[in-house]
Amino acid sequence: MRPAVTPAAAPADTNIPAGRALVRAPGPRLADAIVTQAARRPVDVALAVRQHEAYVAALRSAGWRVGAVAPADDQPDAVFVEDALVVCGDVAIIGRSGDERRRGEAPGAEQAARELGLRVERIEEPGTLDGGDVLQAGDTVYVGRGARTNEEGICQFARLVGGRRVVPVATRGCLHLKSAMTALPDGGLVGLPDLVDTSVLPGLRVVREPAGAHLVVLGPGHVLMAASAPCTAARFAADGLRVTSVDISEFEALDGCVTCLSVLVP
């Protein structure tokens, strides 16, 4: 069995194309971030900063060039940069969250997308869409329909990514689609079937640890996972995947997971 590794132990990947990873450092108001699913508890902001630094180090170790999105210190949830920005090919789509409190995060995300030379599009009223509801797996894009993303937002998104197969997925009891499922490097889906409409998700591989549903694909055969899913990590490692684990406990206390802390732009 190939064991799970920590960022400090993980050597740099040399077999993947260089790509950009956009991140935004946690701000001083992080502890005031919106919590709808987890049981609210005090958040150690200093520890969260250290955990974020370790997360960024794991991205760099895997060969990603990390770019910083401009701070938004008045926006407690801004560290969850994925929700404001979705990148599909050369198109950057600026989301419009179903929670109005998060819409102030968009300007910095748009600026970062423009600096990368991406074509910028937007979800417009009455559509709503959070990037955490968008899961790209091969040529298919699954988009969660729930509290933060509505049908109009999904329709607008589908028009903006013309040529990609867009599959709406109803969610229940979770914040975002990627709170419930993500994809392996080969495009296979893994997740928590009780939280999604499995009728549109053939072949969903079931995991038992909630954090085991959250994967960031760092490269061929290489995934990033939260340290809170050790059994799932061991299972994936036994299947031949290289697993890098990071502790993101302070972000998990705010309904966060590994996917929402970055936007990867291959």
Active site residue ranges: 176, 260
What dihedral angle (degrees, nearest 10) is formed by the CA atoms of 148, 55, 17, 136?
Answer: -20
Strand order in the sheet with 140-145: 134-137, 140-145, 165-170
What lies within 8 Å, CB to CB, of 53 at 6+ separation is none
Q: What is the DSSP letter of 13?
A: P
As a whole number of angstroms, the distance between CA 52 and CA 246 comes to 9
Question: What b/e string do you get for 65-104 counting C-beta neighbours within 10 Å, with b at 16 or more?
Answer: eebebeebeebbbbbbbbbbbbbbeebbbbbbbbeeebbe
| 93 neighbors 160 (Cβ within 8 angstroms) | yes
Retrieve residue 122's tokens.
Answer: 């937007």
| 52 neighbors 261 (Cβ within 8 angstroms) | yes
What number of residues does the chain have? 266
What lies within 8 Å, CB to CB, of 263 at 6+ separation is 21, 22, 81, 82, 85, 86, 87, 109, 131
